[in-house]
Amino acid sequence: MPRQKKAVPRRATSSPLHRLTRPPSMVAQVEQALRQAISEDRFPDGKLPTEVELAEQLGVSRETVRLAAEVLQREGLIVKIRRRGTFTRPPRIGTVRGVETKIVGYLQTDFLDAQGREEASNREISALMLQGALEAAGESGFQLIVRRTTQSQWRKVVQEMAESRRLRGLICVSYQEEKILRRLAASGLPIVLLDEDTTVPGIHSVRDDSLEGAVQAIRYLAQLGHRRIAYAHWARAEMNLSRPLGYRKGMREAGLYRRRQWEILTELTELGARHLVDRLLTLKPNPTALYCFNNTLASFAIEELRRRGIAVPQDFSVMGAGGEEVPNLTCHQTDWFRMGCTAMQILLRALEKPKPVGTYNVRLPHTLRVGNTTAPLPSKRMK
């Protein structure tokens, strides 16, 4: 007889489990609570409670409130003004005579990385300059309309703002196109470029003195005994041409020989710092110090050097060139808040004059800050 197959009991089928959803973080919850309160106009005169008060009301830490507020500040929903507080709109104080309206524009250009995100190194500078402009505008009774754009959209957005009949003047931050600026100058609309240079007549500008800051940096490293100093510049070589010019001038004035391969282009990211250190370690003769485009890149470079067993500053000195605050970093730094204030003051001064009187081109100096990332070159390595 044929052998009968043994019946295999069938497993009971179970319904598939549903994917779990993560609850929003505490920062996201606070952010949402603030958004809702702002949309419902629950803050008298547009002023928010202090971080301590909000933390107590919401039952969270002050740090959680601060992180949530930073998100809303980057989006332009709130503004922080030193010694005054946080507002959903800048306070209006005082008046300026002879101006029809009291609205001016502020166009911030964001630089995006390879993933389409804003360059992290620019956020702190941008926030400080905006706070300075907001404070100067508020003290003169002006309202500031803030817009953000990218390089690719700059031309379209700046034309839209310039053609707005509401705006009496415009501050353009970190980007300019000469052809459009000439058109704007011819229109008579007061324009101030912030953190950027221009040679267009009738257009004012305020920026840091990058060239002299770089000269100051090379002079300092040379005084420590360094003779082979490399420079790491942003891969967008067209940005801030003054800094590489200052590096070359500083090397020349210090009587130091400069090699082309000591100037390295890289991104202002951890990956960029990795590529930078790869290049540095292949250079012959090898540099003993590195001057970086900004403090962000300098901090990334220091982390990468130490990860490879290179002691900073005992084996290698690293110096930054302004931007975000990095504790204990040797760098030169300017007052970005003051730059924003100065740009707004120049714009308001231009509005008070019935006819344009000259062009203001202001350069704010850098101050040397000595940290623990640079050291005298050991005598055995001076040759």
pLDDT one-digit tens code per residue, 164-185: 777 889 999 977 777 788 887 7
Q: Are residues 214 and 204 located together in one domain of the fold?
A: no
30 occurs within a structural domain: no
Taking the C-alpha atoms of residue 134 and residue 340, their distance in angstroms, rounded to an integer, is: 8
Q: Are residues 240 and 322 located together in one domain of the fold?
A: yes
Q: Can you tell me the mean pLDDT for 249-274? A: 94
113 occurs within a structural domain: yes
- Domain assignment of residue 69, given as a range: 52-83
Nearest partner of 74 among 85, 66, 83, judged by Cα: 66
10 occurs within a structural domain: no
Q: Are residues 194 and 284 located together in one domain of the fold?
A: no
- Reported for 28-36, long-range contacts at CB under 8 A and 24+ positions apart, including other chains, are 28/68, 30/54, 30/58, 30/60, 30/64, 30/65, 30/68, 31/68, 31/71, 31/72, 33/58, 34/68, 34/69, 34/72, 34/78, 35/72, 35/77
Q: What are phi and psi of 340, to 5 degrees?
A: -65, -45
Query: Is the pLDDT score of 163 beyond 60?
Result: yes
pLDDT recorded at residue 321: 94
Nearest partner of 175 among 188, 156, 189, 190, judged by Cα: 156
pLDDT recorded at residue 186: 76
Q: Are residues 155 and 226 located together in one domain of the fold?
A: no
Structure tokens, 211: 């060239």
Q: Are residues 302 and 372 located together in one domain of the fold?
A: yes
Q: Are residues 109 and 193 located together in one domain of the fold?
A: yes
Taking the C-alpha atoms of residue 382 and residue 225, their distance in angstroms, rounded to an integer, is: 7
Residues with Cβ within 8 Å of 273's Cβ and at least 6 positions away in sequence, in order, are 266, 297, 300, 301, 303, 304
66 occurs within a structural domain: yes
303 occurs within a structural domain: yes
37 occurs within a structural domain: no
Q: Are residues 116 and 224 located together in one domain of the fold?
A: no
Is the overall model pTM greater than 0.75, yes or no? no
pLDDT recorded at residue 92: 40
Residue at 240: amino acid letter: N
Taking the C-alpha atoms of residue 98 and residue 87, their distance in angstroms, rounded to an integer, is: 27
Measured in whole angstroms, the distance separating CA 205 from the mean position of its chain's CA atoms is: 18
Q: State the alpha helices, DSSP H only, in 101-206.
A: 120-139, 154-163, 178-187
Q: Are residues 216 and 329 located together in one domain of the fold?
A: yes
88 occurs within a structural domain: no
Instruction: Give the CA distances from residue 244 to residues 1, 234, 322, 329, in Å, rounded to whole numbers and listed in that order.
Output: 95, 10, 14, 20
Q: Are residues 142 and 240 located together in one domain of the fold?
A: no
pLDDT one-digit tens code per residue, 107-150: 988 876 555 555 566 778 888 999 999 999 999 899 998 888 88
CATH, residue 258: 3.40.50.2300
Q: Are residues 137 and 169 located together in one domain of the fold?
A: yes
How many C-alpha atoms does 365 have within 13 Å on its Cβ side?
Answer: 5
Q: Are residues 187 and 268 located together in one domain of the fold?
A: no
Query: Is the pLDDT score of 374 beyond 80?
Result: yes
Q: Are residues 152 and 297 located together in one domain of the fold?
A: no
Query: Is the pLDDT score of 53 beyond 50?
Result: yes
309 occurs within a structural domain: yes
Taking the C-alpha atoms of residue 105 and residue 90, their distance in angstroms, rounded to an integer, is: 13
| Total domains present in the chain | 3
